[in-house]
């Protein structure tokens, strides 16, 4: 869909996300919700692909919830394709860490994967859920503008042990 009609449809979806997300957060706090998710840190030549969502503040990684019967790797590959149009195979992903944390009243068990490519793939956002995606050097991403999973990834990759290829230590964020 293109042109003026397409812009209105995109605007409607962004509005629905902006209104729906605060309602979902209230529901999660009330019910003590739980979720399983997967995220992908996609790196090329020292740059990381980061996204900005239409409905919440801060930079993030392509990520989302796992569907019933879906493995964490399958979810990560699907979310990467849905959110930024990048298609990878599950075997291209390396597990960085699985961790559990609380955010906005819900307990999230998140599998964080990394893929390192030789060339930057073309990136396309839907302008609905994801309104921007771009490549940034790790050192240029401010932790203060990062959502929890991106902040966790940055802390792991900026630590001295990341240069020694040692396993990161899980922190209870």
pLDDT of residue 160: 55
pLDDT of residue 30: 80
Confidence of residue 10 (pLDDT cuts 50, 70, 90): confident
Residue 145 belongs to a domain: yes
For 7, the token pair is 């812009």
Confidence of residue 2 (pLDDT cuts 50, 70, 90): low
Residue 9 belongs to a domain: yes
For 84, the token pair is 């930024």
pLDDT of residue 147: 92
Q: Which domain holds residue 130?
A: 3-163
Residue 145 DSSP symbol: G
Residue 171 belongs to a domain: no
For 171, the token pair is 């922190």
pLDDT of residue 41: 98
Query: For residues 62 and 158, which has the higher predicted lDDT (pLDDT)?
Result: 62
For 29, the token pair is 């706090």
Residue 169 belongs to a domain: no
Residue 133 belongs to a domain: yes
Residue 17 belongs to a domain: yes
Q: What does the mean pLDDT of the chain come to? A: 86
Residue 173 belongs to a domain: no
Q: Which residues pair with 53 in a beta bridge?
A: 130
pTM of the model: 0.81
Percent of the chain residues past pLDDT 90, beyond the cut:
56
In the predicted model, what is the mean pLDDT of residues 51-63? Answer: 94
Query: For residues 160 and 93, which has the higher predicted lDDT (pLDDT)?
Result: 93
Lowest mean pLDDT among 14-23, 96-105, 108-117: 14-23
CATH of the domain at 155: 3.90.79.10
Residue 118 belongs to a domain: yes
Closest listed residue to residue 43, CA positions, set 146, 144, 121: 121
Query: For residues 28 and 143, which has the higher predicted lDDT (pLDDT)?
Result: 143
Closest listed residue to residue 41, CA positions, set 68, 67, 79: 79
For the chain, the maximum distance between any two Cα atoms, rounded to a whole number of angstroms, is 52
Give the number of domains in the chain.
Answer: 1
Please give the Cα distance from 129 to 10 (Å, whole number). 9
Q: What is the pLDDT of residues 128-168, one digit of tens each?
A: 899 999 999 999 999 889 998 999 999 988 765 544 343 33
Confidence of residue 35 (pLDDT cuts 50, 70, 90): confident
């Amino acid at each position: 869909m293109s042109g003026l009609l397409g812009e209105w449809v995109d605007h409607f979806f962004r509005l629905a996300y902006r209104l729906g997300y605060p309602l979902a957060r209230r529901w999660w706090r009330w019910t003590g919700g739980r979720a399983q998710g997967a995220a992908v840190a996609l790196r090329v030549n020292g740059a990381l692909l980061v996204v900005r969502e239409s409905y919440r503040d801060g930079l993030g990684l392509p990520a989302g919830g796992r569907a019933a019967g879906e493995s964490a790797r399958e979810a990560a590959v699907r979310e990467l394709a849905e959110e930024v149009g990048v298609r990878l195979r599950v075997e291209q992903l390396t597990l960085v860490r699985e961790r559990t944390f609380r955010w906005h009243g819900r307990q999230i068990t998140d599998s964080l994967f990394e893929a390192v490519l030789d060339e930057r793939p073309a990136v396309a956002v839907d302008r609905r859920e994801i309104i921007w995606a771009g490549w940034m050097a790790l050192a240029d991403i401010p932790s203060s503008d990062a959502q929890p999973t991106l902040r966790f990834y940055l802390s792991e990759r900026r630590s001295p042990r990341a240069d020694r290829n040692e396993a990161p230590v899980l922190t209870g964020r």
